[in-house]
Structure 1
């Protein structure tokens, strides 16, 4: 975990710069995705065909605005683990990602380049369209408060639980 935090702070500079520049194009990268181990790249590294895209039943996508919001930090990881346990996600293919994004409207198309899911739960400190299951790409998306936000404002836990129950219903859990 310490290496991941160091990676977020030193390599990605999340405390200072949220979106890294692509040196080959001199333009901002639209979105970057990270697992607990580091950058998320699909199995084939570069996707050649739509059949190369990884499929999941559920993706938890946590939008980072600060390094302290990562779902992989010990304090947020513990709460996030309790949330997943309460959902009883047994035998489901689940992917957990942190991401940085320049423009949220580009997030569905950027994620679709590397993977797709029946449902995507977007965690954010400032969710848009909170609690609404909306079709975006091949699946449904719902935005709610992030585990890091819930640590700051425990009163929002009921809102998040209601949103997660909608996801459970959608996945027949």
Structure 2
């Protein structure tokens, strides 16, 4: 919850964040767009989802320095006519992530960005699509040497999507 409040303050610029005890609820996985929480009324469809796991507020895809690098990554992928969704998320258990995301989105491919990826570079079938984990753009700002690993992973995604 502390990370979520920090996210609201630092990324979205909200000055005072007040959450009543009932609002903290049992939901342990939360998804965010630049304008706030992502909670569509019905399941959305996308060909590609970029899902960025937040462990610190400075890792958001929507911060200026991260957004710039992420924009260059997407441009290199040539994603012209694809339905693409970009989300930050907080999660207590990565094991729950596929099922929680499936409640909101059906995607052909999900790219999971993390500072600590598991099963890095492996396209794995999860639910109705394929998932691949790799280093986040924020991580690449701190360790540019990992860019080659990420580019190889993104090329796998491009091949899967026929780009």
Contact 2:53–2:114, Cα closer than 8 Å, also in 1 = yes
Give SS of 1:157's match. helix
After superposition, where does 1:3-82 map in structure 2 within 5 Å? 4-7=11-14, 11=17, 23=22, 28-42=26-40, 44=41, 52-82=42-72
Cα displacement (A) at 1:3: 7.3
Q: Does 1:116 align with 2:123?
A: no
Give the alignment's TM-score, normalised by structure 1.
0.83
Q: Does 1:151 align with 2:151?
A: no
Find the counterpart in structure 1 of residue 3 from structure 2.
none
Contact 1:35–1:96, Cα closer than 8 Å, also in 2 = yes
After superposing on structure 2, the runs of 4+ consecutive aligned residues of structure 1 that deviate more than 4 Å are none
Q: Distance in 1 between matches of 2:69 and 2:62?
A: 10
Equivalent pairs counted in the alignment come to 155
**Are residues 28 and 89 of structure 1, via their aligned partners in 2, closer, same or farther at CA, if it must alter by over 3 Å?**
same
RMSD: 2.2
Q: Which runs of 5+ in 1 are unaligned?
A: 13-19, 45-51
Contact 1:59–1:120, Cα closer than 8 Å, also in 2 = yes
Q: Does 1:131 align with 2:121?
A: yes
Q: Does 1:164 align with 2:154?
A: yes
Q: Which runs of 5+ in 2 are unaligned?
A: 1-8
**Are residues 6 and 127 of structure 1, via their aligned partners in 2, closer, same or farther at CA, if it must alter by over 3 Å?**
same
Give the alignment's TM-score, normalised by structure 2.
0.88
